[in-house]
């Protein structure tokens, strides 16, 4: 019966085709996590202040009643700050001191892709304040504030391009950064290389400034930090490093400390020194950044100092371009004794008096001696100050832990125990200075 | 005796199978296991674990070379008797089925946590399992070719990322090499956990009979172990050097964070985690491929079936159900650590037992002339 056979074969083919179609069905459904780029609200920068200390005048947008968890607070009151005891059942001290969040969200299509020119003829794209959208929200923790922010934004917030987070000094000093950093570490989108900086006074201000050099304000802030690192003027202390140091027992984290100058520009004015996650001090002078970097032995040297030329009137500007440091530790009378050796190589950039004979080896040697003396004094002052503050930002404790493990294991169990010891530690600082070039002039 | 059809696997292919099997899902959490066990002594703990794994692999290979044309299922019956060997094989099947499912689940968890946050974990898990099941239907030659093909895609970016990450390393973080407050018990436990990550290499028991020259099998085992160990050690060393021992303990997947912190120079890629995940999917797939094929083939030989292809499909629902058993990520990691260490008794102890008995009874397998 060939006819029936043929029929059966036809059925079989049809079944197979159907089966293949059914199997391919799951492939055409797309994916759960599909999210078009214009459907996400890309957060470029965040500023976190204490709610009470934020500059007045601006109305808070995360009012009572705007979200389901705020139902209990009275919508009629003028006070739009988080009600201290409202909703969510959280009571007591943690209910107070909300964070005030300012976010910079990229406006799709307004972000210039290349340097300059990209905007074409449209006049709008050259105005920095139009490339981003600045929003405010409040919350007890960073994530709660972000959720309140989400309530105001149609698109899903995306943190993959978050480049800079500014926290106010008041928040860092009074409450520490625990409420801030946990979310950042837990969220897979956030980069560990994001810059976390402490701003003197109001952090939100940095999100609202619109510097003319870069069309996206947050990217300008990021560039400020990145270029300072490249020029050797600042250590590469990004957020991931902060998080690592915050759990080390022999080393305290530091963060960049910035302040807003006239209106639009920022100044990197030093380092915020931490004890764990809480800020305790700032470096006293800009030169302390140099001292810190010299002790780390990191990167290209970039700082220049003005030194008086011994025996003559006038000064020269001396700039380091290479540095190397070596720290050794041994035990002396039951306390750690550190020998710090630093080698600097640099250039002379400028002299203030034509009488200074730079081609005279004796003058050069005298300048080098002066650089060495000032550098060493700077280091000593910096170390003494941290000893007084009872914090160890350089990480001398890590040298003890790594190189004298037996002593460390016997004497140190907590961060505080090390810092008590650190106050008694002694130092021997040696510095070698070599001038390599004097520029395009012969004398 | 089933084998004899495919005796084409070369020493290099065998090494490739082992290397790509050894480098698997465990690489992500590896530095955390090491740091938890020995803080700055993490690299040392890793080294100890790798030595244990090498011993285990050497035992499997040596007993396999003694019976060059049979797998552990077949010679087991001749060496210690039919029923004791069947119990041993059944335990191995159960164990590797569980290992396969936990590997797939761990993979699914990582993907869901780090990239596809809204995709159900069951989907990411089953996609991987289906791929492993379909691939496992192939014969041993294809199996070896596939591993050899994927190897460069695992090794080159793998070493590349670690070497690039070394730029951020602070070598003070891995001193003292013995660890602060060294604790022998916790270091031993950590070494066992790390040795357990290498258990996929048990697949060698099926690779040896498919080899062209089984007498050179030990060479491929040692080479594979050297290469995989280099990557393991460098990963642990660099991760702890970059983050410090204390912070490494706090990271769920330190290696992934390492890739996130690392940039490709010249502003080409600002974070390498995407690249890393691509590499890592390949690495997980090859490991799953090995353990799944191992389970299916052991089951086939135990049941006396002529073909393992259908078993690959029948195994899938069981493996998937086991994969879905752990309630959450914490329970999953407890299960992985615990089951892994228990499994060492089986994957190191059983070949050792067979080898001792076979030597005592002076038993040996035949290597047929035509090879």
> So what's the pLDDT on residue B54?
93
Kindly give, in sequence order, each residue whose CB lies less than 8 Å from that of residue A86, ignoring residues fewer than 6 positions away. A64, A70, A72, A73
Domain boundaries, chain A: 37-69+95-110+126-282, 287-437
Min Cα distance A399 → chain B (Å) is: 7
With an 8 Å Cβ cutoff, are A191 and B176 in contact? no
Burial B59-91 (b: 16+ CB within 10 A, else e): bbbbbbbbbbbbbbbbbbbbbbeeeebeebbee
B119 touches chain A (CB under 8 A): yes
The answer to whether residue B3 sits within a structural domain is: no
CB-nearest to B176 from A243, A248, A405 is A405
With CA atoms as reference, report the closest residue to A100 among A211, A188, A176, A180. Answer: A180
**What pLDDT is recorded for position A116?**
46
Q: Is A409 on the interface with B (CB under 8 A)?
A: yes
Interface of B with A in 263-322 (CB under 8 A): 263, 270-271
pLDDT at position A78 is 39
A325: left (phi over 0), alpha (psi -120 to 50) or beta: beta
Say whether residue A411 is in contact with chain B using an 8 A CB cutoff: no
What is the least distance, in Å, from the CA of B205 to any CA of chain A?
A: 35
Identify the closest residue of chain A to B262 by CA–CA distance. A193
User: What is the model's pLDDT at position A338?
Assistant: 92
Mean pLDDT by 10 residues, chain A (443 residues): 66 83 67 70 88 47 37 39 44 64 81 48 49 85 89 87 89 85 89 88 79 76 85 85 89 88 77 89 82 78 80 84 87 89 87 82 86 88 89 89 89 87 90 86 77
Backbone angles phi, psi at B136, to 5 degrees: -65, -15
Does residue B327 belong to any structural domain of this protein?
A: yes
Alpha-carbon span A272 to A284, nearest angstrom: 10
Angle between helices B72-80 and B273-303 (to 10 degrees): 40
Strands A266-275 and A254-260, bridge-based pairing: antiparallel
Q: A284 Cβ partners below 8 Å, 6+ apart? A: A270, A385
Q: Which residues of B touch A398 (CB under 8 A)?
A: 172-173
Give me the phi and psi of A199, to 5 degrees please.
-105, 135
Out of A33, A402, A403, name the one closest to residue B116 (CB).
A33
User: Quick check: B263 and A193 CB within 8 A?
Assistant: yes
**Mutation site, A223, A240, A243, A244, interface B, largest B CB count within 10 A:** A244
Count: domains in chain B: 1
Contact assignment for A33 to B181 by CB distance below 8 Å: no
Q: Tell me the pairing of strands A304-308 and A315-332.
A: antiparallel
Burial code (b: 16+ CB inside 10 Å, e: under 16) for A67-83 equals beebeebeeeeeebbbb
CB within 8 A of A65, min separation 6: which ones?
A: A71, A73, A75
**Secondary structure (3-state) at A357:** coil
| A249 touching B (Cβ < 8 Å) | yes
Chain B residue with CA closest to A242: the answer is: B243
Pairwise CB contact (< 8 Å): B271 & A409: no
Q: How far is B340 from chain A (nearest CA, A)?
A: 27
* Out of A191, A247, A395, closest to residue B246 by CB: A247
Residue A426 DSSP SS3 = strand
Cβ atoms of A330 and A317 within 8 Å: the answer is no
Residue recorded with tokens 């069947």:
B86
Distance CA A124, CA B228 (A): 56
Parent domain of B117: 11-356
The answer as to whether B142 is a domain residue is yes
- Say whether B123 and A32 touch across the interface (CB within 8 A): yes
Q: Is the Cβ of B176 closer than 8 Å to some Cβ of chain A?
A: yes
Query: Residue B144's closest CA among B312, B299, B305, B293?
Result: B293
Domain presence at residue B369: no
User: How many residues are listed for chain B in this entry?
Assistant: 371
- pLDDT score of A30: 59
Task: Indicate whether B157 belongs to any domain.
Answer: yes
The class level of CATH for A287-437 reads: alpha beta
Q: What confidence score (pLDDT) does residue B254 get?
A: 92
| Per-residue model confidence (pLDDT) at position B362 | 82
A403 vs B175: CB contact, 8 Å cut-off? yes
The answer to whether the CB atoms of B246 and A402 lie below 8 A apart is no
Minimal Cα distance from B182: which residue of A?
Answer: A409
Low-confidence ranges of chain B (pLDDT < 50): 1-3, 369-371
Q: How far apart are CA B150 and CA B155, in angstroms?
A: 9
ipTM of the complex: 0.83
Number of A–B residue contacts, CB under 8 Å: 65
Rounded to a whole number of angstroms, the distance from the CA of B244 to the nearest CA of chain A is 7
Q: In this complex, do A405 and B178 lie within 8 Å of one another by their Cβ atoms? A: yes
């Amino acid at each position: 019966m060939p006819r029936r056979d043929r029929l059966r074969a036809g059925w079989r083919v049809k079944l197979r085709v159907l089966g293949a179609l059914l199997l391919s069905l799951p492939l055409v459904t797309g994916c759960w996590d599909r999210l078009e780029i214009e459907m996400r609200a890309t957060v470029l920068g965040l500023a976190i202040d204490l709610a009470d200390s934020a500059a007045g005048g601006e109305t808070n947008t995360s009012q009572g009643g705007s979200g389901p968890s705020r139902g209990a607070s009275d919508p009629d009151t003028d006070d739009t700050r988080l009600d201290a005891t409202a909703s969510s059942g959280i009571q007591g001290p943690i209910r107070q001191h909300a964070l005030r969040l300012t976010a910079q969200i990229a406006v799709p299509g307004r972000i210039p892709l290349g340097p300059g020119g990209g905007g074409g003829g449209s006049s709008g794209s050259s105005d920095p304040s139009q490339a981003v959208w600045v929003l405010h929200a409040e919350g007890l923790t960073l994530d709660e504030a972000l959720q309140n922010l989400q309530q105001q934004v149609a698109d899903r917030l995306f943190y993959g391009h978050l480049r800079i987070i500014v926290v106010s000094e008041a928040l860092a000093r009074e409450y520490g950064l625990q409420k801030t950093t946990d979310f950042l570490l837990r969220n897979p989108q956030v980069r560990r290389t994001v810059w976390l900086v402490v701003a003197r006074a109001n952090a939100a201000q940095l999100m609202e400034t619109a510097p003319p050099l870069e069309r996206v304000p947050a990217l300008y802030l990021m560039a400020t930090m990145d270029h300072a690192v490249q020029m050797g003027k600042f250590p590469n202390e990004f957020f991931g490093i902060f998080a690592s140091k915050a759990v080390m027992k022999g080393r305290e984290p530091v963060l960049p400390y910035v302040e807003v100058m006239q209106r639009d520009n920022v100044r990197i004015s030093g380092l915020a020194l931490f004890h764990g996650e809480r800020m305790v001090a700032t470096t006293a002078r800009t030169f302390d950044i140099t001292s810190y970097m010299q002790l780390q032995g990191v990167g290209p040297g970039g700082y220049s100092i003005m030194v008086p030329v011994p025996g003559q009137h006038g000064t020269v500007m001396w700039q380091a371009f290479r540095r190397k440091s070596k720290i050794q530790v041994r035990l002396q009378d039951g306390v750690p004794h550190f020998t710090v050796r630093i080698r600097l190589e640099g250039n002379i950039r400028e002299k203030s008096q034509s009488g200074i004979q730079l081609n005279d080896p004796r003058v050069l040697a005298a300048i080098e001696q002066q650089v060495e003396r000032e550098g060493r004094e700077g280091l000593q002052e910096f170390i003494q100050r941290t000893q007084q503050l009872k914090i160890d930002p350089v990480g001398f404790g890590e040298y003890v832990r790594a190189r004298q493990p037996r002593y460390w294991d016997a004497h140190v169990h907590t961060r505080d125990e090390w810092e008590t010891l650190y106050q008694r530690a002694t130092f021997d600082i040696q510095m070698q200075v070599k001038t390599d070039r004097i520029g395009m002039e012969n004398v | 005796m089933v084998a004899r059809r495919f005796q084409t696997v070369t020493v290099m292919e065998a090494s490739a199978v082992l290397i790509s099997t050894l480098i698997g899902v465990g690489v992500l959490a590896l530095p955390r296991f090491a740091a938890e066990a020995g803080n700055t002594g993490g690299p040392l703990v890793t080294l100890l674990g790798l030595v244990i794994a090498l011993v285990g692999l050497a035992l499997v290979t040596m007993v396999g070379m003694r019976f060059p044309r049979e797998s552990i299922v077949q010679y087991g019956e001749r060496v210690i008797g039919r029923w004791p060997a069947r119990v041993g094989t059944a335990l191995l099947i159960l164990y590797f089925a569980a290992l396969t499912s936990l590997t797939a689940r761990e993979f699914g968890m990582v993907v869901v946590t780090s990239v596809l946050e809204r995709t159900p974990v069951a989907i990411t898990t089953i996609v991987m399992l289906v791929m492993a099941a379909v691939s496992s239907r192939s014969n041993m030659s294809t199996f070896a070719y596939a591993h050899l093909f994927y190897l460069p895609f695992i090794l080159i970016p793998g070493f590349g990322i670690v070497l690039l990450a070394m730029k951020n390393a602070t070598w003070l973080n891995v001193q003292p090499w013995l660890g602060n407050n060294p604790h022998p018990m916790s270091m031993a436990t950590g070494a066992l956990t790390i040795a357990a990550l290498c258990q996929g290499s048990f697949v060698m028991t099926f690779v040896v009979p498919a080899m062209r020259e089984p007498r050179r099998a030990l060479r491929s085992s040692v080479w594979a172990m050297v290469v995989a160990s280099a990557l393991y050690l460098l990963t642990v060393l660099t991760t702890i050097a970059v983050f410090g021992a204390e912070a490494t303990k706090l990271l769920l997947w330190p290696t992934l964070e390492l890739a996130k912190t690392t940039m490709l120079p010249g502003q080409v890629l600002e974070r390498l985690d995407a690249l890393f995940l691509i590499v890592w999917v390949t690495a997980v797939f090859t490991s799953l491929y090995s353990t799944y094929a191992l389970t299916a083939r052991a089951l086939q030989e135990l049941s006396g079936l002529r073909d393992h292809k259908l078993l690959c499909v029948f195994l899938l629902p069981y493996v998937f159900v086991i994969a879905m058993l752990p309630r959450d990520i914490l329970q999953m990691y407890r299960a992985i650590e615990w089951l892994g260490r228990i499994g060492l008794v089986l994957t190191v102890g059983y070949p050792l037992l067979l080898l001792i008995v076979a030597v005592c009874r002076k038993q040996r397998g035949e290597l047929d002339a035509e090879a």
